[in-house]
Structure 1
Amino acid sequence: MSTINYSEKIPNNVNLSEDRTLQRALEHWQPNYLQWWRDMGPEGSVDFDVYLRTAINVTPEGWAHFGHVKMPDYRWGIFLAQQENGRKVNFGEHKGEAAWQEVPGEHRANLRRMIVTQGDTEPASVEQQRHLGLTAPSNYDLRNLFQINVEEGRHLWAMVYLLHKHFGRDGREEAEALLQRNSGDQDKPRILEAFNEPTPDWLAFYMFTYFTDRDGKFQLNALAESGFDPLSRTCRFMLTEEAHHMFVGESGISRVLQRTAQIMKQHGIEDPEEVRRHGVIDLPTVQRYLNFHFSVTIDLFGADQSSNAAAFYSSGLKGRYEETKRDDDHLLKNNQYKILDIADGKLTEREVPMLNALNEVLRDDYIRDSIAGVGRWNKVLEKAGVNFRLTTPHKAFNRHIGTFAGQRISPDGRVISEAEWQANVRNWLPSEEDRAYVASLMGRVVEPGKMANWIAPPPVGINRQPIDFEYVRFN
């Protein structure tokens, strides 16, 4: 069923009303979710009318309806992509078998763990961003923040449905726990460390949505290859929503660069302190934020070598990015992959079995995709006639997981001493002064069509609306 039924208490396209036990369990979870949204969702936004996109079907031809709605009234629900007739498991030891509609008993624990970990990231990002509405640079940007927030909430629903439907009491308990952990909480933090980092300002938000939501794209693509068909269909639909999150990040940074470049050319200045005196974000600070968010995000892919990753792949649970487009046997038992190591004080490469290096395979795919977007940012600077260029740091830089955890590696990929690291870290990662300066720019601008001084307007509005459209109405 491609059309979503909005007449039910929980909108869905999975015939929820035919499974009364499941329906009652999810209706019991729903008030707890709404309470979490009131407590931990976007601060002070309950009465705003927001121009939001809502899914009306799951076909690729067009699934979105736009209209003003109060966020607590947003119709969160359960939407799976259309089922593919005759779909097979496309990799691992079950390759060629019919895709599973129920959880294979021997893979139950691993599947639950994967779903819980993915599900935990969705409310975490809402919690990380809950104060940003108070410092939005424009009405347009405020709407984009809220669109991301409601979609992350719906992605939580997607994972909770799988837990309730396929994992019995264990699944119900895990679904409750997803609302009990909170980003940055000392006692009950979120599972992955990147989702316990604060997102204190809009430069950090744009970097998060560019880099960390891009991790979501790659993780969801790998899970969309799963032999467990309900997980695959869930992730395939989530990916249609994830694209907007990355657009917000990429276009947001482009607009920051455009405005800074405009001020630099207008006043004939390059010195960062001079640039700051004009109330925009200097380019070295943008680079330091980039270094931080890139390095934190690539840690999310896990250790360079992982027996878990090998087991997930061989079991048919989690594939590679665009698995079916790859030209190999999709078993990988005899394949090798080069990973980085340190020998004699230098970075070196060594070959390891590819099955154990699948985290690194996915990380390298992600890095190539990220670098392409940074190239597009540099075109903004080039077009403006500014000589500065942004770069992604070496993948061993500022790592806290895997081979390079605790190692001191410079952004250009040199193994360095602790003394050299301490002497240069303020040039490589955002300092307290950098964050304080960016925070000082964060004044709220909500009049339609107006922009904060530090960011350029977008080239076009949402859904062919003008830039000065009232995307968020304040009641």
Structure 2
Amino acid sequence: MSTINYSEKIPNNVNLGEDRTLQRALEGWQPNFINWWDDVGPEGSTNHEVYLRTAVSVDPQGWAQFGHVKMRDYRWGIFLNPGDANREVHFGDHKGEKAWQDVPGEHRANLRRIIVTQGDTEPASVEQQRHLGLTAPSMYDLRNLFQINVEEGRHLWAMVYLLHKHFGRDGREEAEALLQRTSGDVDNPRILGAFNEKTPDWLAFFMFTYFTDRDGKFQLAALAESAFDPLARTTKFMLTEEAHHMFVGESGVSRVLARTAQVMNELKTDDPQKVRAAGAIDLPTIQRYLNFHYSVTIDLFGADQSSNAAIFYSSGLKGRYEEGKRTDDHVLKGQTYKVLEVKDGQLVEKDVPMLNALNEVLRDDFIKDSMAGVGRWNKVLEKAGIPTRLAVPHKAFNRQIGALAGIKMSPDGRVVNEIEWAAKRNEWLPSAEDFAFVASLMGRVVEPGKFAGWISPPVMGINRQPVDFEYVRFG
């Protein structure tokens, strides 16, 4: 079992104490991290004691310990999955060679870029969720928000460790910059578009953690294949924490749907205005939120054809999702993949070299995974006897990146003109009125066991605790 030393100033399982220079550099970065947390972390939460899960080992058999702790005192640290001395590169041009323990000079710039981009998403989501604690629908949900926040903070530490250890002065400067960019800042925004969007309410938060944290799952899984062994080991452990974030999103939307279905059945109506008047979120609004979060998330995978994606794969820097389960040659030269483009006002498929289409391969894996969860949401409606079904929009809908950027497309996959887009936009994406309505429901409920009227309680509590357990103690 790979245990974590919590007696250290920076808890770790990488023998940090044996590298005094690195330890001092990270101890120098730590106060800046705490200042960042105090400035833009969860608002008004400094004195709360939260029932948090903390990693005590990277062993999948029992890596978590639960207890009340102030978030500012959370034991953030550096945890890598156990190494394998015989691990080999299993894809790309270096296939069959020993995995790298240090950064090869020719791949230095690309690896740094990958690590910085991944690292930048982690503090961004904390900043996006900063105000949500003030409108929590229950103490249970407030605790889940805070658990996600501290884990995103730890994921930032994971990337900062790699930058400090393997990239010298450049890495130290990049680590500082990760705390200087801010989500949505006009002058110094976060690197990726979705991480500059607002998360204004809890329905948006559940959609974000379902879809955008799922992008995180696929990106981390692709990096967990990397020939650069420290990156692979780091991201493998991050995946264990990412699973909880997606659970919060999926179960959160399920509970919103359960409550909406209950209200619809009590009132015997599917009229959105009547559902709203009863204090629940109507299904068309939920569908519009889904359309928005899904479309901005699939943009995160990048352009459908990308020379960078080809370079990252052939160099061994970033594999495919579940690379080891695929039955091709893991080199991909001469293979093709279908991507979409618009020709004469119609969507058409065309074959392109697979190496250049690896963003699209990962996007399609994400889409399949996302649709499975939407199917589970529909089971909630089906069980309640509600005939409406949610659906993910067409993958060309509302795209801002790649060959499909800016194309006016209906959710069901029709190319539409500007006039129809303008007329239907508020049917397809959340309107100012939708946001105002959802915001009007966001009153804070934090008495143990009590829940806001727009969401159902969960089936069970956290770590076998009752649903009405005191998950947050307010200082």
Q: Which interval holds the TM-score relative to the shorter structure?
A: over 0.9
Aligned letter for 2:316?
G
Distance in 2 separating the partners of 1:264 and 1:416: 33
- Whole-angstrom distance in 2 between the partners of 1:336 and 1:384: 44
Partner of 1:205: 205
Name the CA distance, whole Å, in 1 between partners of 2:84 and 2:64: 22
Q: Counterpart of 1:190?
A: 190
**Secondary structure of the structure 2 residue equivalent to 1:251:** helix
Q: Distance in 2 between matches of 1:91 and 1:136?
A: 45
Where 1:301 maps in the other structure, the secondary structure is coil
User: Unaligned stretches of 5+ in structure 1?
Assistant: none
Shift of 1:269: 1.0
2:272 matches 1:278: no
* Corresponding residue of 2:164: 164
The CA distance in 1 between the partners of 2:326 and 2:445, in whole Å, is 47
Matched, 1:38 2:38: yes
Please give the alpha-carbon distance, in whole angstroms, between the structure 1 residues aligned to 2:82 and 2:209: 27
* Corresponding residue of 1:129: 129
Question: What one-letter code is carried by the residue in structure 1 that aligns with 2:41?
Answer: G
Amino acid at match of 1:333: K
Aligned counterpart, 1:248: 248
2: CA distance between counterparts of 1:74 and 1:138? 22
CA distance in 1, matches of 2:420, 2:156: 43
Partner of 1:289: 289
CA–CA distance in structure 2, aligned partners of residues 418 and 405 of structure 1:
14
After superposition, what is the alpha-carbon deviation per residue over 1:167-221, rounded to whole angstroms, capped at 9, x for unaligned? 0000000000000000001110000010000000000000000000000000000
Q: Compute the displacement of 1:406 (Å).
A: 1.2
One-letter identity of the residue aligned with 2:112:
R
Deviation at 1:62, TM superposition (A): 1.4
Partners of 1:83 and 1:448 in 2: CA distance? 43
Residue by residue, what CA displacement relative to the aligned partner does 1:17-52 show, whole Å, maximum 9, x if unpaired? 000000000000000000000001000000000000
Q: Quote the Cα distance in structure 1 between the aligned partners of 2:413 and 2:76.
A: 45
Secondary structure, in 3 states, of the residue corresponding to 1:53? Answer: strand
Report what 2:312 is aligned to. Answer: 312
Q: How does 1:97-246 map to 2 (within 5 A)?
A: 97-246=97-246
SS of aligned partner of 1:67: strand
Unaligned runs of 5+ in 2: none
SS where residue 183 of structure 2 aligns? Answer: coil
What letter corresponds to residue 191 of structure 1 in structure 2?
I
| Secondary structure class of the residue paired with 1:98 | coil
- Match of residue 443 from structure 1: 443
Other structure's SS at 1:398 match: coil
| Displacement after TM superposition at 1:84 (Å) | 2.0
Counterpart AA for 2:366: Y
SS at the partner of 2:402? Answer: coil
Greater mean deviation of Cα atoms: 263-272 or 205-214: 263-272
- In the TM superposition, what whole-angstrom CA distance separates every residue of 1:104-131 from its partner, at most 9, and x where no partner exists? 0000000000000000000000000000
Three-state SS of the structure 1 residue aligned to 2:53 is strand
Offset at residue 376 of structure 1 (A): 0.1
What is the aligned partner in structure 2 of residue 74 from structure 1?
A: 74
Alignment match, 1:459: 459
Pairwise mapping of residues 393-472 of structure 1 onto structure 2 (< 5 A)? 393-472=393-472
* Structure-1 residue corresponding to 2:262: 262
Aligned residue identity for 1:234: T
The C-alpha deviation readout for 1:203-247, integer Å capped at 9, x for no partner, is 000000000000000000000000000000000000000000000
What secondary structure sits across from 1:351 in the alignment? strand
SS in 2 for 1:352: strand
Question: Structure 1 residue 343: deviation in Å?
Answer: 1.2
Q: Specify the code of the residue in structure 2 equivalent to 1:349.
A: E
TM-score, scaled relative to structure 1: 1.00
Aligned equivalents of 1:302, 1:165: Cα separation in 2: 28
Other-structure match for 2:53? 53
Which SS does the other structure have where 1:244 is aligned?
Answer: helix
Distance 2:459 2:368 in 1: 26
CA distance in structure 2 between the partners assigned to 1:399 and 1:343 by the alignment:
17
The residue type paired with residue 95 of structure 2 is: K
Q: What is the RMSD of the two structures over their aligned residues, measured on CA atoms?
A: 0.5
The one-letter amino acid of 1:440's match is S
Q: Deviations over 1:361-405 (max 9, x none)?
A: 000000000000000000000000001100000000000000111
- Could you say which residue in structure 2 is the equivalent of 1:327? 327
Aligned residue type for 1:419 = I
Runs of 4+ aligned residues of structure 1 deviating over 4 Å after TM superposition are none
CA distance, structure 2, for counterparts of residue 215 and residue 59 of structure 1: 24
| Shift of residue 349, structure 1, vs aligned partner | 0.4
Matched residue SS, 2:333? coil
CA distance in 1, matches of 2:343, 2:177: 43
Letter matched to residue 223 of structure 1:
L
In structure 2, distance between residues paired with 1:459 and 1:248: 13
Matched letter for residue 307 of structure 2: S
Q: Percent identity between the aligned chains?
A: 78
Q: CA deviation at 1:85?
A: 3.2
CA distance in 2, matches of 1:138, 1:127: 21
Match of 1:68, SS state, is: strand
Compute the displacement of 1:253 (Å).
0.2
TM-score, normalised via structure 2 length: 1.00
Counterpart of 1:190, as a letter, is R
Aligned length: 475
